[in-house]
Amino acid sequence: MTPTATDDVSAMPEPSKQKLPAIEAAPASPGHRSPQRASDSEVVSPKLPDYLVEKTGSAEAPSTEVFAVYGVEPEIQAYAMAKYSRSALSMKESLREISAQKAEKFLNTFYFQYGHRSIADLAHIALAVERLSILAAIELADEQRWDGQERSTRYQDFKKSGYYTPDFGADHEARKLYRDTLDFLFVEYESLSAHMTQHLVNITPRPADMKQEAYERTLKARAFDITRYLLPLATNTSLGEIVNARTLETQVAHLLSHTHKEVRVLGESLKKAATSPAYNVNAESLKKLVEEIRAANPELGARAGQELLHEVRVAPTLVKYADPNPYEIETRRELRQAARELMAHEQLAPSKAIVDLLDEEPLEVEIATTLLYEHCHFSYRQIRQAVQVAGERRRREIIDLALRHRGKHDEMLRGFRAGQQFRFDILMDTGGFRDMHRHRRCIQVMQGFTTQHGYEMLLDVEDAGMRLRFEAAMGYVQTAVEKLAARKSPEAEENSQYAIPLAFKKRALFKMDFAEAVYISELRTTPAGHVSYRNVAYAMYEAVARKYPALAKYFRVHDVTAPVDLLQR
């Protein structure tokens, strides 16, 4: 706590009356010292020795050199960066002497044997992932140290994207029900998109200064914002990510340990992409150049081919040992069982609000509650009440379960990232959650996909006269999802989740500091945003304002109840 200021002032010491000796002037020539002293009004700077002036070039010139590095393979770059710690060589000198073989040997020794994990933070890798389901994309991006971009349901028409079909084995009836359900959803998506676009055109005149193309594009995007609720989690999407090698290794291990087969296969694909030859955008033009050189000079052409056409593997060493994580797999199984046992006699309580700013509690209670939260569909408050009733011994058993299988190099589970001041239990539609999921400066704990919390429908659908059709579609799909989940085939429940539309709600726990609460509330309430996350962000602001009224004035939020100009982006 900051000490309270008083009127007592500590006196500064009086300057010494003793006259300090003046700095002698630099010698006029080597071996000669001038007997003259500097006067009180003169300030004479010491002269640098000649050998230092020669070394630096000038006593006045800055010695710091800054340059960007381009064209270096990620693992070689990581090795060169790491050498700063143990070598006096410059970056340019290090890069000239390092080979791929040297980098592999170094990384095998220091990264894998000695455990210097931060070395992999220095190797950055760009990966493209195409034709994966929205469900898999959510799981892939569920990494705090992740940077990427996914296809937008606002700016792109997904009617021809296709969808992922899980492996139903010999259960042909389930496969047919699944495909019929998804085909139905895409027909409804296409129909509602056309209907909503026309509805918005009818109620929104084009301004005279707005081009027809921009007008149609803007309203079509608004229509897609509404109709995305019909898109199932199986919808094919694409994304790009840029991650460091340590994050990629963690990401691959997590995906390989997942409950869904598609996600496990995705983990294998990421690992293969990192250790196999990378796509070279200049390959074709370089091949032609090498052929021209070879035609003029075969010997020079051979050398050019070796230099310009050699295959590059972005992380052949750092990711090769990424495997399924026993700690994650075994702990998930045991915590799921613990959640089932603890909540066996509880019913899902209807949610009173989309955002619940949680009260403070003992750290043990928070950790135990959070560890169980992602393994069921109950609210945080319901789980916390059960944890508190179960007593201290049971709480510690839950925490012990979450650490029992932890290996030497395993990070603690996300449930242990506790102690934040602002913790929001949020219940929102899955489409809106995908937007909120992008916020990396906070801890997010997701629950699984379900139809148990019902679905969201925008008022625009009712205004366009499509409410009954939308509700009928949601009812039909919910019944199909429940039938698919009840099948006896392997991973039946996991497979059924792909048929869930983005309209259905899911829970997620967001933990953050005050600055992030302000940032999300301000960014996500802007009129150009989707109404789903605008309402959530404003509810976050209102919750903080009620609990800390003196801090409310520092939020620069937009009023979500104010009318929105549909043509403003």
Per-residue pLDDT of the chain in tens (569 residues, 90 and over written 9): 444 444 444 444 444 444 444 444 444 444 444 444 444 445 455 666 665 555 555 556 678 999 998 888 888 888 888 888 888 989 998 888 887 667 777 777 766 655 567 888 888 999 999 999 999 999 999 999 899 999 999 989 999 899 999 999 999 999 999 999 999 999 999 999 999 999 999 999 999 999 999 999 999 999 999 999 999 999 999 999 999 999 999 999 999 999 999 999 999 999 999 999 999 999 999 999 999 999 999 999 999 999 999 999 998 888 888 999 999 999 999 999 999 999 999 999 988 789 999 999 999 999 999 999 999 999 999 999 999 999 999 999 999 999 999 999 899 999 999 999 999 999 999 999 999 999 999 999 999 999 999 999 999 999 999 999 999 999 999 999 999 999 998 899 999 999 999 999 999 999 999 999 999 999 999 999 999 999 999 999 999 999 999 999 999 999 999 998 888 76
Residue 106's pLDDT is 74
Give the DSSP letter of residue 110.
I
Torsion sign, CA atoms 208, 209, 214, 217:
negative
How many C-beta neighbours within 10 Å does residue 94 have? Answer: 18
Residue 48's pLDDT is 60
SS3 state of residue 264: helix
Residue 147's pLDDT is 92
Residue 83's pLDDT is 83
- Contact 257/329 with Cβ under 8 angstroms? yes
Q: How far apart are CA 369 and CA 365, in angstroms?
A: 6
- Contact 34/23 with Cβ under 8 angstroms? no
How many C-beta neighbours within 10 Å does residue 86 have? Answer: 8
First to last CA, the chain: 45
Residues near 51 by beta carbon (within 8 Å), at least 6 away in sequence: none
Residue 128's pLDDT is 97
User: Which residue matches tokens 């630099």?
Assistant: 26
Q: How far apart are CA 343 and CA 378, in angstroms?
A: 8
Residue 44's pLDDT is 55
- Contact 293/304 with Cβ under 8 angstroms? yes
Residue 333's pLDDT is 98
Minimal CA–CA distance to 159: which of 176, 183, 177, 138? 183
SS3 state of residue 413: coil
- Rounded to the nearest 10°, the torsion over CA 110, 115, 118, 119 is 20
Residue 230's pLDDT is 98
Residue 59's pLDDT is 54
